[in-house]
Amino acid sequence: MPELPEAEVVARQIRTRLLGARLREIWVGREDIVREGYTTVPWYRGASLQSVERFGKSVVLEFVNEEACRYVVAELGMTGLLLFQSTKAKSPQHIHVRLLFDGSREPELRYWNPRRFGRLSLLDKPGLERYLARRFGVDPLLVSQPDFVRILGTRRGRLKPLLMHQQVIAGIGNIYANEILFRAGLHPNMQVGRLSVGKVERLYRIMREVLKEAIACGGSSVRDFFAPDGTEGQYKRRHLVYGKGGQSCPHRCGGTIRRLQEERSAYYCPRCQSLRSAK
Ligand SMILES: [Zn+2]
């Protein structure tokens, strides 16, 4: 869970409520949740929140004081959430890090993560650049269509794993990969090399449409996603295939949505997403 649309919703809410706020303290409950440049030196004294950006499924907070720029990178992948103090966390013992602020509407931003797959990193600028270069491919909402066509043209293998390969295209996970491929009429196991340029261009447009629509709906609340203010994303109601194995195809083609059990479940309509329709 949290994928690009959810991370974008999180970044926007934090930007709206906390931009310019002064960081008073970083409270760390579990040090194994905090990765890389973690230091007990209180670099953050007097630092204020300068920007909030999303990269893939992560949210990056930039803090600036007279001496330095520092970055807090929160990975939301799988089960991580960033919550305002007023939002009740289901199991408060899973709040592992708190950022405490002065002079803002929100006194606190909490990093909650029950399964501890995600991490929170405290980095300087070179550290952030290394982190981003290592982990993130192009952003689906920023990459140009010619670049997208070029990138897919250099890759081999099955289409769905490629869409979810964070070092190639950052931010799409299982939910949105299934939804995008259904709308594009492309089989999840199709070989990327068999796609015509026209099909890749269409995939590019549909990928962006789906992601933007999901952001506008506040993301998808599947399992435990909440925005920092506690609101649920409504895009789940618009899912066409994800989680709908055994149901009739929403295109009324007469087919039934199938679920392929592989590394991650693929949901698709065998009639609308034929392996033979690549050209
Ligand atoms: Zn169908």
Check if the beta carbon of residue 18 is closer than 8 Å to that of residue 68: no
Ligand 1 centre to CA of 185 (Å) is: 9
- Tell me the C-alpha to C-alpha distance, in Å, between residue 65 and each of 30, 70, 73: 26, 9, 17
71 within a domain of the structure (yes/no): yes
Burial class (CB in 10 A: 0-12, 13-18, 19+), 38: middle
Q: What is the pLDDT of residue 37?
A: 61
Check if the beta carbon of residue 125 is closer than 8 Å to that of residue 73: no
- List Cβ<8 Å contacts ≥24 apart for 232-237: 233/5, 233/6, 233/9, 235/5
Q: Is 264 annotated in the active site? A: yes
102 and 165 belong to one structural domain: no
Looking at 87, 102, 135, the residue that finishes a domain is 135
196 within a domain of the structure (yes/no): yes
Q: What is the pLDDT of residue 104?
A: 86
Q: What is the pLDDT of residue 31?
A: 80
Per the structure, the count of domains in the chain is 2
Ligand 1 centre to CA of 252 (Å) is: 6
Q: What is the pLDDT of residue 141?
A: 98
Ligand 1 centre to CA of 218 (Å) is: 27
Q: What is the pLDDT of residue 193?
A: 94
Q: Is 114 annotated in the active site? A: no
Q: What is the pLDDT of residue 57?
A: 92
Looking at 116, 135, 154, the residue that finishes a domain is 135
Q: What is the pLDDT of residue 39?
A: 58
Q: Is 57 annotated in the active site? A: yes
240 and 195 belong to one structural domain: yes
Q: Is 2 annotated in the active site? A: yes
Q: Which residues of the chain have pLDDT under 50?
A: none
Residue 187: CATH number of its domain? 1.10.8.50
Looking at 135, 168, 190, the residue that finishes a domain is 135
- Tell me which of 12, 22, 259, 264 is the catalytic residue: 264
